[in-house]
Amino acid sequence: MKNLTRRDALKLASVGAAAALQSSTLSAVESPRTPTPVWEVFELVLKRPSAETPFPSAANPFIEAQLTAAFSLGHRTISVDGFYDGDGVYRIRFMPDVPGLWRYKTQSNLPQLDAQEGSFQATPPLPGAHGPVRVCNTHHFAYADNTPFFPFGTTSYAWIHQPEALQRQTLNTLRTAPFNKIRMCVFPKSYEYNHNEPALYPFERGAAGASDFTRPNPAFFRHLEQRIADLLSLGIEADLILFHPYDRWGFATMTPAQDEFYLRYLLSRLSAYRNIWWSLANEYDLMRAKSTADFDRLFHIVEAADPYQHLRSVHYSHTPYDYAQPWVTHASLQSSDFTAAPAHLAAWSKPVCYDEIMYEGNLNRRWGNISGDEMTRRFWLGLIAGCYVTHGETYLDPTQPFDENSTPTLFWAHGGPLKGTSPAQIAFLRKLIEETVSPANAVLGPVRIGLTAAVNPTYLNATAYAEDGKQAQTILYFFDFHQPIWSDFQLPPGVFAAEWIDPLSTTITPQPGMFSGKATLRLPGHPFMAVRFRLQPPV
Amino acid sequence: MKNLTRRDALKLASVGAAAALQSSTLSAVESPRTPTPVWEVFELVLKRPSAETPFPSAANPFIEAQLTAAFSLGHRTISVDGFYDGDGVYRIRFMPDVPGLWRYKTQSNLPQLDAQEGSFQATPPLPGAHGPVRVCNTHHFAYADNTPFFPFGTTSYAWIHQPEALQRQTLNTLRTAPFNKIRMCVFPKSYEYNHNEPALYPFERGAAGASDFTRPNPAFFRHLEQRIADLLSLGIEADLILFHPYDRWGFATMTPAQDEFYLRYLLSRLSAYRNIWWSLANEYDLMRAKSTADFDRLFHIVEAADPYQHLRSVHYSHTPYDYAQPWVTHASLQSSDFTAAPAHLAAWSKPVCYDEIMYEGNLNRRWGNISGDEMTRRFWLGLIAGCYVTHGETYLDPTQPFDENSTPTLFWAHGGPLKGTSPAQIAFLRKLIEETVSPANAVLGPVRIGLTAAVNPTYLNATAYAEDGKQAQTILYFFDFHQPIWSDFQLPPGVFAAEWIDPLSTTITPQPGMFSGKATLRLPGHPFMAVRFRLQPPV
């Protein structure tokens, strides 16, 4: 709990706890020295001996103990916060990023937790584990091991707050859906079509339902962690939304000290999960109790408390946050104005994620009823512009009564099955994009991560380059509502094969011949088509 | 030829003509005193007697005679320019705008043409004649008799320069097409897919093909007039483009004096046709030999020389002209950014015509290959924004070789048949829009001309109001790519019937019930739909 002063901590405590500190009777029990693969979670468990006296009822074990551990390998030392997990158990989690013998030593204001030492062996990463996602090549992303990551996100704000069977159905949907990132909230959601109470609350609640913001509910956080781990096992990044305005429980109106306590507790539990992204808020500008300066401060708290520097952004409703700020790793837009993409990319020199482009569905709301083809079209427009796009779905059962006070199962908030037509089309697009960097398709060695959008093109197009950034490997054209029967293409050096790509019917039709220089290609003459040129191996 | 000084006129003459003036032997023959209906053309013909000596070969009869006539009715006097029509004939054309006995008297530097007097009876307009189109109700148009005019324009830049059989086919197409305005050029066009020579040239040409810009070709202008008259008989306004950059004959690079001579000659011939609109240029900003100040000056010439003050605008490629200038009656945009419409309407307080929104077709050019559905969608977006939209079509026969140096029949330039799917959909929309002011549909008396677009609507909608501007009569909603299965509508006072409108399949499906106040309407749940609410008579 560094940066949170003792005075702050006392303010947070609902009862005076200073006396209790002296009488606490914890003692440490080391975790087994299991070897832990790189990018998995090593957990150090510190327990008070069961025979000893429990905390005095007036004490708050979430507050009293300040606990960190320093993990060292060679000359590197990483300081990691611990947390109280209830039932007399403290935990410290650590995600090693290189193999080797990591040594640790705890530090605490409680003598029983202080100066605990040990070590563990970090082994090479498990198959399929690539580490946390980072910014790579300015406007793009890659895992820590440099494997490209092209975000194809979806949205399910409150899926972890639904009945268990529905959550399992959501995970089952995600198992075969084309999405590798999900925008989801820590806190439950109170909004139109979102009226049910969650099974678990993030803080202890009194008889009248008021939260004690000094006492996190370990069961809530264990559940959240289980869902993060479930997503990890599916290869899905959790774009975790830390605050949002759609609240009836008081989570949107905590004090600055409560916000900080919550963030530090959350980060001490979750930072060691490699598939975490931090989204400071959904629609931060609709949170009336917080100013932009408050969000600057919350960003700094997250930046300081996260030993792994997971990706950080914030999402808006009307007023974009200043994505040029150095503590923001990428932009998270609510927009479908892809004509602004070149300016955004140039201005921010960061990846740009169009995280809310309206949802495929049939809702009585403008933001929740675009057609599946329009959703897919927006994915193409965004990708071809050199950005990334996030899906969402809001299909009402048309036989249900029209009632915003109901809580139907809309994937956007509740999860469950996907009903729309865009996911299959997005799967097709994802495969096309991932193929641009596939070693199998890179005829001249590795391909640079990410597509570079053309400037002032006749038609929208984006190119994947060889690692030197010079030799174009794959060029994707998207014709949107244009339907030419032929077009000239000024191709970069090399000999290219051409394919017609139908983004809606998800078909690929190879075209006869090879193309180079100023090439003329016959086109199908109907709208919403694409063309792919792929460099051929030198003869 | 007022405002053109004698010195200018001499400069224009390719040969010295001062001596010839003294020896000319014209004498006037009055036109028959036929009664002429209001808004038709009265023509005064002045001939030199056939027995007399022709002009000396060195003389230029287009230059020597300055000829005007003053037409008077009661206290009003309108000065009208005459013109030389070849074969020793001068003509003065006049379009009366009110019935009565109009007296006239000519004025000329040539004694034989000077002081010719007479009168004619202007009778009530012919059935179906409503006069020239004017701006009405700030952002809209009406004929002189206040009959609403909603422009549903098309484009055929060079149709009058094609073989006669093709011109007749174009007129035949227009007879049943939904268009009541056509953008067309005076001068022939030299561009990709436009390589044929015209049958007639606007000026006399020497053996080497150079034009004598002081000697208009009367046959050319008579042909142009015939086409204007043909359009008039079909109820179509001629949005006549006076200059354009796509030229290989020198018409785009005449001197300022030649430009003025051409304009005065053209206006003296055509102004009396009631279906004329003046478009100073197509893509004025691509005419490298002219500056914006040149166009200001050309506007002033047209403004001063047109006794009837026909509508005046100019069209651009990249840089909009300043449509706020008082000499511009309406905006003529090359744009499909309808989100800018509210700002344009507010800034200019004039009608806004989206005159080039790309063309329905399959060309190898981005501007010439949008789908028919996209063309129709743009008509809806424009109309619902309170503006007007112009169609164009560029369909190549896919079996033709791909060759921009060919001259296929593309309606956009050459006329001929229409091949696209949008005209039938535009016809449907035109009927819907015209019904908004139809007396048969106006349950509370006349309806104000034009649709007023809603500000910050949930969905795009536009309303037709009763004449007092208060009582909403018809409200049209367009849902674009949205596909709600229901929506709330905050209706204005009154009881409304509702219909589903399908703009693409052109069907209307009445919905059960009556609606008022905050009304909930079930919607079809697929994209590109519209809804119409119509006020019902008070019970």
Contact check, Cβ <8 Å, A482/B369:
yes
Contact check, Cβ <8 Å, A373/B485:
no
Which residues of chain A are within 8 Å of residue B525 when distances are taken between CB atoms? 362, 398
Note the pLDDT tens digit of each residue in A408-428: 999 999 999 999 999 999 999
Q: Which residue of B has its CA nearest to A522?
A: B402
For A247-291, what is the HEC assignment? CCCCHHHCCHHHHHHHHHHHHHHHCCCCCEEEEEECCHHHCCCCC
Q: Which of B335, B360, B369, B404 is the best substitution to test chain A (most A C-beta atoms within 10 A)?
A: B369
> Which member of A371, A522, A525 has the closest CB to residue B483?
A371
Which residues of chain A are within 8 Å of residue B486 when distances are taken between CB atoms? 364, 402
Q: What three-state secondary structure class fits B432?
A: helix
Q: How far A393 CA sits from the closest chain B CA (Å)?
A: 13
d(CA B89, CA B83): 9
Amino acid letter for position B150:
F
Residue A97: name the closest of A71, A70, A69 by CA. A71
Q: Which of B364, B365, B399, B400 is the best substitution to test chain A (most A C-beta atoms within 10 A)?
A: B364
pLDDT of residue A47: 83
Which residues of chain A are within 8 Å of residue B370 when distances are taken between CB atoms? 481-483, 527
Q: Is the pLDDT of residue A49 over 60?
A: no
Which residues of chain A are within 8 Å of residue B398 when distances are taken between CB atoms? 485, 525
Reported ipTM: the value is 0.87
What radius of gyration, in Å, describes the C-alpha atoms of chain B?
A: 25
Contact check, Cβ <8 Å, B527/A374:
yes
Q: Which residue of B has its CA nearest to A337?
A: B339
pLDDT of residue A310: 98
Question: How many CA atoms within 13 Å lie on the side-chain side of A10?
Answer: 9
Q: How many CB pairs below 8 Å do chains A and B form together?
A: 76
Q: Is the pLDDT of residue A27 over 80?
A: no
Q: How many of the other CB atoms lie within 10 Å of CB of A321?
A: 22
Amino acid letter for position B464:
A
Contact check, Cβ <8 Å, A363/B484:
yes
Bridging pattern class, strands B140-143 and B507-510: unpaired
Which residues of chain B are within 8 Å of residue A488 when distances are taken between CB atoms? 364
Contact check, Cβ <8 Å, A484/B526:
no
Q: Where are the beta strands (DSSP E) in A326-429?
A: 331-334, 352-356, 360-361, 388-390, 393-394
Q: How far B19 CA sits from the closest chain A CA (Å)?
A: 59
d(CA B532, CA B515): 12
Q: Which residue of A has its CA nearest to B337?
A: A339
Q: How many of the other CB atoms lie within 10 Å of CB of A157?
A: 25
* CA angle at B192 for the pair B187 and B198, rounded to the nearest 5°: 35
Which residues of chain A are within 8 Å of residue B488 when distances are taken between CB atoms? 364
Q: Where are the beta strands (DSSP E) in B402-480?
A: 452-453, 460-465, 472-478
Which residues of chain A are within 8 Å of residue B373 when distances are taken between CB atoms? 527
Q: Name every residue in B having a CB less than 8 A away from some CB of A.
A: 361-366, 369-371, 373-374, 396, 398, 402, 458-459, 481-488, 520, 522, 525-527
Q: How far B421 CA sits from the closest chain A CA (Å)?
A: 13
Q: What are the CA-CA distances from residue B523 to residues A364, B478, B488, B530 (Å)? A: 9, 12, 10, 9
Q: Is the pLDDT of residue A177 over 60?
A: yes
Beta-sheet strand order (sheet of B76-84): B36-37, B117-123, B100-108, B67-73, B76-84, B89-94, B42-47
Q: Which of A402, A460, A504, A529 is the best substitution to test chain B (most B C-beta atoms within 10 A)?
A: A402
pLDDT of residue B33: 59
Residue A294 · residue A301 · CB < 8 Å: no
pLDDT of residue B401: 83
Contact check, Cβ <8 Å, B371/A459:
no
Residue B123: name the closest of B39, B240, B219, B2 by CA. B39
| Residues with Cβ within 8 Å of residue A417, at least 6 apart in sequence | A169, A173, A409, A411
> Which member of B488, B520, B525 has the closest CB to residue A362?
B525
Instruction: Report the Cα B504 to chain-centroid distance in Å.
Output: 27
Q: Is the pLDDT of residue A75 over 80?
A: yes
Contact check, Cβ <8 Å, B483/A522:
no
Q: Which residue of B has its CA nearest to A479?
A: B366
List per-residue pLDDT tens for chain B, 539 residues long: 344 443 443 344 333 333 333 333 334 444 555 899 999 999 999 986 554 445 555 588 899 889 999 999 999 999 999 999 999 999 999 999 999 999 999 999 988 899 999 999 999 999 999 999 999 999 999 999 999 999 999 999 999 999 999 999 999 999 999 999 999 999 999 999 999 999 999 999 998 889 999 999 999 999 999 999 999 999 999 999 999 999 999 999 999 999 999 999 999 999 999 999 999 999 999 999 999 999 999 999 999 999 999 999 999 999 999 999 999 999 999 999 999 999 999 999 999 999 999 999 999 999 999 999 999 999 999 999 999 999 999 999 988 888 889 999 999 999 999 999 999 999 999 999 999 998 877 777 888 999 999 887 888 999 999 988 889 999 999 999 999 999 999 999 999 999 999 999 999 999 999 999 999 999 999 999 999 999 998 87
pLDDT of residue A33: 59
pLDDT of residue A438: 86
Compute the mean pLDDT over every residue in chain A, rounded to the nearest whole number: 91
Which residues of chain A are within 8 Å of residue B402 when distances are taken between CB atoms? 485-486, 520, 522
Instruction: Report the Cα A234 to chain-centroid distance in Å.
Output: 14
pLDDT of residue A83: 97
Which residues of chain A are within 8 Å of residue B371 when distances are taken between CB atoms? 481-483, 526-527
Q: What are the CA-CA distances from residue A260 to residues A263, A298, A478, B176 (Å)? A: 5, 7, 46, 71
Q: Which of A57-71, A74-88, B155-169, B208-222 has the lowest mean pLDDT?
A: A57-71
* CB-neighbour burial class of residue B86 (10 A; exposed 0-12, middle 13-18, buried 19+): middle
Q: Which residue of A has its CA nearest to B485?
A: A362
Give kind and range of the element (H or E) at residue A102. strand A100-108
Q: Which of A336, A477, A483, A526 is the best substitution to test chain B (most B C-beta atoms within 10 A)?
A: A483
Q: How far A481 CA sits from the closest chain B CA (Å)?
A: 6
Residue B328 structure tokens: 């511009």
Q: Is the pLDDT of residue A352 over 70?
A: yes
Contact check, Cβ <8 Å, B485/A398:
yes
Q: How far B316 CA sits from the closest chain A CA (Å)?
A: 19
Contact check, Cβ <8 Å, B459/A370:
no
Residue B425 structure tokens: 């959909």
Contact check, Cβ <8 Å, A396/B485:
yes
Residue listed under structure tokens 């189109």: B133
Residue B250 structure tokens: 């020198």
pLDDT of residue A39: 98
Q: Name every residue in A having a CB less than 8 A away from some CB of B.
A: 361-366, 369-371, 373-374, 396, 398, 402, 458-459, 481-488, 520, 522, 525-527
Contact check, Cβ <8 Å, A369/B483:
yes
